[in-house]
Amino acid sequence: MSPYPTFHIMTKPIGAICNLDCTYCYYLEKEKLYPQTRQFKMTDETLDSYIRQYIESQASSEVSFAWQGGEPTLMGLEYFQKVVQLQRKYANGKKIGNALQTNGTLLTDEWGRFFSDNQFLIGLSIDGVKGGRKVRRLGR
């Protein structure tokens, strides 16, 4: 049993990198906090440690991962296939959930099948026409 209370972390495996450049984005400028680097991708070694430690440290029997960016799908589908494999490896009987926030522009049917097969909760942000409302839709 973990000595820590349950807590929640948002994971940003691509840092502040996005394939869009929304004028209102509050997050892209965070790239400037790391002027010495152009490499923001979370490495496989860090991913392995992160997933193991995050699961181990949670007191509850359910563990929720939240993937955000930047645009997290820039990490590629294989990366998230690895995520799910590592979660299974380290679950130790706990129920694992995943939520992912995306601008949706890089999604394909293959991504859709993966999300469906692994029951990811997807947050999809879409900008409407100028002067219109921003549409924000959540769904499985």
**Binding positions for ligand SF4, rule: CB under 6 A:** 18, 20-22, 25, 27-28, 69-71, 103
Q: How far apart are CA 88 and CA 55, in angstroms?
A: 10
Q: How far apart are CA 30 and CA 53, in angstroms?
A: 25
C-beta of 73: minimal distance to ligand SF4 in Å?
11
Q: Which residues pair with 139 in a beta bridge?
A: 122
Nearer residue to ligand SF4 within complex by CB, 17 or 51: 17
C-beta of 18: minimal distance to ligand SF4 in Å?
3
Q: Write out the two tokens for 9.
A: 């972390």
- Distance between first and last Cα of the chain: 31
C-beta of 71: minimal distance to ligand SF4 in Å?
5
Nearer residue to ligand SF4 within complex by CB, 1 or 33: 33
